[in-house]
Structure 1
Amino acid sequence: MLIRVVRMSFRPAEVPAFLELFHATKNRIRQQPGCQHLELWQDADLPDTYCTYSHWADVAALNAYRKSALFGEVWPATKRLFAAPPVAFSVNPVL
């Protein structure tokens, strides 16, 4: 399993647009092959900062999603709302 975290800071006026976009697409993302889990977190101290937290079967599943039409729809629309560049990273659980 691969865990992906994407931390995103939004311009305050754009937060409602981001939340609308996330809620409109979250189920479609969850249905992507290899997506096992997806959550949205809000920073406890920075209310305009959110993180997506997702589990993928493997890096190939994540990369397939990143090449999908859905990602091509969601990511550009999200990027337009940023106040700063996102920080994204993938980790593997250590058992």
Structure 2
Amino acid sequence: MFVRIVKLGFEEKHIETFVANFHKNKRAIRNFKGCEFLELYRDKNKTNVFFTYSYWQSETDLENYRHSDLFKSIWAVTKPMFNMKPEAWSVDKLETLE
């Protein structure tokens, strides 16, 4: 399992549309084969900056999602709203404290 973190920046006028689209698709993303966890965060100071945080069983699962019709439909709506280039990191979780 690994963690995928994606940073997304939007034009202010598109924030509501982005959030609504995320809510519309969040269950489908979370239920995609290999996705074990999904959260959306918003920067406290730069309120037009969001982060998605997800756990994936394998890199193949993430790549299958990224090439799926689901991702393509979400990306088609999301991409025109950016005001910065998205950034993404794939990281291995080393430790969790309960």
The alignment's TM-score, normalised by the length of structure 2, stands at 0.94
| Aligned-pair CA distance for 1:76 | 2.1
Report the secondary structure of 1:80's partner residue. Answer: helix
Letter matched to residue 8 of structure 1:
L
Gaps of 5+ in 1: none
The percentage of counterpart residues that share the same residue type is 36
Q: In the alignment, is residue 81 of structure 1 matched against residue 76 of structure 2?
A: no
Q: In the alignment, is residue 21 of structure 1 matched against residue 21 of structure 2?
A: yes
Q: Segments of 4+ in structure 1 off by > 2 A? A: none
Which residue is 1:36 aligned to? 36
Report the secondary structure of 2:28's partner residue. Answer: helix
The alignment's TM-score, normalised by the length of structure 1, stands at 0.96
Gaps of 5+ in 2: none
Separation of aligned partners in 1, 2:25 and 2:36? 15
Separation of aligned partners in 2, 1:78 and 1:27? 17
| Aligned-pair CA distance for 1:93 | 1.3
Which residue is 2:4 aligned to? 4
Report the secondary structure of 2:33's partner residue. Answer: coil
Report the secondary structure of 1:75's partner residue. Answer: helix
* Root-mean-square deviation over aligned CA pairs: 0.8
Report the secondary structure of 1:70's partner residue. Answer: helix
Separation of aligned partners in 1, 2:19 and 2:65? 20
| Aligned-pair CA distance for 1:34 | 0.4
Which residue is 1:53 aligned to? 53
